[in-house]
Amino acid sequence: MKRLTVDMSLPATVQIGATGLVGLAQEIRTVLATRKGSVPLDRDFGLTWDPVDMPMNMQHLIAEIGQGLEKYVPRIRVVDIQFMNNASDLDGAVEGRLIPKETVEIREEYYGDFR
């Protein structure tokens, strides 16, 4: 079972032509950073930002992220989604910014892509 953890709190650069786990992590980051409706030829791509101005519902947010990732990155299955604050625990909570950290499993039929 091959797993990959993508921590959105860490800086990352876009690598044109990235393959393997680097390319997969880049795909996951792209989905997470794209607002649904912002891609002209694929308005459904990305995640909805509707929860931004709503009371916090962690289950809804986790479900939205998990379903979006599995829809747009079909080579993975989401195993875990955790949220971190961008600063210290107290400061981040007061600031209200949650940063996702996802652990995904590569689906068995795609193992050949990651040799």
Ordered per-residue pLDDT tens for the chain, 115 residues: 789 999 998 899 999 999 999 999 999 999 999 999 999 999 999 998 877 777 777 888 899 999 999 999 999 999 999 987 655 544 444 466 778 999 999 999 988 887 6
pLDDT of residue 58: 83
Instruction: Round to whole Å and give the CA distance between 52 and 28.
Output: 20
Q: Is the dihedral of CA 18, 39, 12, 4 positive or negative?
A: negative
Domain that holds residue 100: 3-114
Q: How many domains does the chain have?
A: 1
pTM metric for this prediction = 0.84
pLDDT of residue 99: 86
Q: Residue 28: which CATH number?
A: 3.10.450.40
pLDDT of residue 74: 95
